[in-house]
Every structure is written in structure tokens, then in C-alpha cells.
Amino acid sequence: NSTMKLENEHIYCEKEMTYDTGAYIGTVYLSIVAFLVLSGTILFTLEPAVASLSGSGTYKPSTLSSLLKCFSLQTSFKALTNTSTKPGQVLCLNGIRVLSINWVVLGHCYLVFVNLAADKIYILETLVPRRNNPIIFNGYPSVDTFFTLSGFLVSYLLLKQLAKGGTTAKHWFAYYVHRYIRLTPPYLLVILVEGFLLRQWVKGPFVRAATDRLHEPCKEYWWT
């Protein structure tokens, strides 16, 4: 007779996850975003009819309606599919972005699979001999590429501003406020979904193993 010893940390029982503070904050955050998107989309759709009923040249959208339309699906889709360029843009960076983001996604797909798979020997025997293995397991430069692009763009824009006449305290304040407003909402969304909401939404044998290691670091350090 053979016996198998299982550690408690490797045993996951199916149970209903309770909402904690982060999950409630994430639900409220997503509800607000969904409300803004829905309101902006409806307003964008109905605005031409409202303008025609008001008469030619008499309709003027309010500041609130203009703000809501920024969240509409029509505005977002138009911005995502826009291929026009502005003078002074470094166009070759777009190609580097495409290659890098696809490389990052591909590497993480394999990384999640390898971490959750029980038979690591099977993975080594099947993945390592493949010809695309070096691309997958050497995907770290794809992350470094984004840091390089970020540093290049910051330096490029700074040099352009210096060439125009230098910088002021007002310029630096506006720069950091712009960066904060641009980066914080998606960063907060990823933390709330990955760390708190994913474990509420997904069911399956590997859910606890995949989400528990994300939940505690996100809860404790805001980092996964």
C-alpha cells in the first residue's frame, strides 16, 4: 500500500467567498464606471435628435453632457481605432508597443499555466523542446521595453519643452497631475479586480490557488 501526504496549504475546499472592504470598493468603482459609460452612450445617441428638435443653431451642449460623452462607447471606439498622427510623433514606437504587449500577454499566459499545473515534469518535457520556447521563457525584455519607451518619451517631451523656453513650477505640477489622473484609474481597477473581485467571480479547482496569492499582497501592499 502506498500513501500520499498532502499539506494543508495544498488542500482547497469549495466555499463561498465573503466580500471584504476591497471587494465592496471594487464593486462601487465598477458600478460608477458602468454608469458613466451607459449615460455617455445614451446621451451621445440621443443628442442629434435633441439638437434637431431644438432648432438649427440653438442647441448648445452643457459642460456635464460634454463630460459624459467622453465615457461613451462611440467616443472610446473612435479613439481606439484612430490611426491619425500628430506632427512630431515618433511613429516607430507604435510598432514596438504592439510587439511588446503581445509578447507580455503570451509570456503571462504560459506563466499562469506553469504555476497552476500539478505536473511540472510534463511541462518541462513538452514545452522546453519546442522551437518557440526561447521566445516564451525569455520574455523579460518585453517588460524592459516598456520602461525604455516610458523613459524615452518623458525625456523627449522634456527636451521639446526646454527648446520652447524652459519649464516652470506650473508646468511640472501640471505634468504630474496629468500622469496621476491618466495612470491611477486603470491601475486601481487592476488591483481591485485581481486582488479582491476575481476570487468572487471565478469558480473552479484552481481558483483558490490562483487568487489567494494575489489577494493578500494586494490587500497588504497594493501590489501583486
* Coil, strand or helix at 8: helix
Q: How far apart are CA 139 and CA 128, in angstroms?
A: 14
Q: How far apart are CA 24 and CA 20, in angstroms?
A: 6
* Coil, strand or helix at 205: coil
Query: Which pLDDT score, from 0 to 100, does residue 138 have?
Result: 79
DSSP one-letter code for 165 = T
Closest by CA to 122, choosing from 114, 131, 133, is 114
Q: Where are the alpha helices (DSSP H) in the chain?
A: 21-54, 63-69, 73-80, 92-116, 120-127, 133-137, 140-164, 169-192, 198-201, 207-221
> Which residue, chain included where needed, has cell 495612470?
183
Q: How far apart are CA 73 and CA 211, in angstroms?
A: 31
Contact indicator for 68, 43 with CB cutoff of 8 Å: yes
Phi, psi (degrees; rounded to nearest 5) at 3: -120, 155
* Coil, strand or helix at 7: coil
Query: Which pLDDT score, from 0 to 100, does residue 37 have?
Result: 93
Query: Which pLDDT score, from 0 to 100, does residue 57 have?
Result: 60
Q: Give the global pTM.
A: 0.69
Q: State the 10-residue block means of pLDDT for the chain, 224 residues long.
A: 50 67 88 93 86 68 85 90 82 85 85 72 78 80 85 84 78 86 86 82 72 73 65
Query: Which pLDDT score, from 0 to 100, does residue 13 have?
Result: 61
Query: Which pLDDT score, from 0 to 100, does residue 110 have?
Result: 80
* CB neighbour list of residue 219: distance below 8 Å, 6 or more residues apart: 20, 22, 195, 196
Query: Which pLDDT score, from 0 to 100, does residue 20 have?
Result: 82
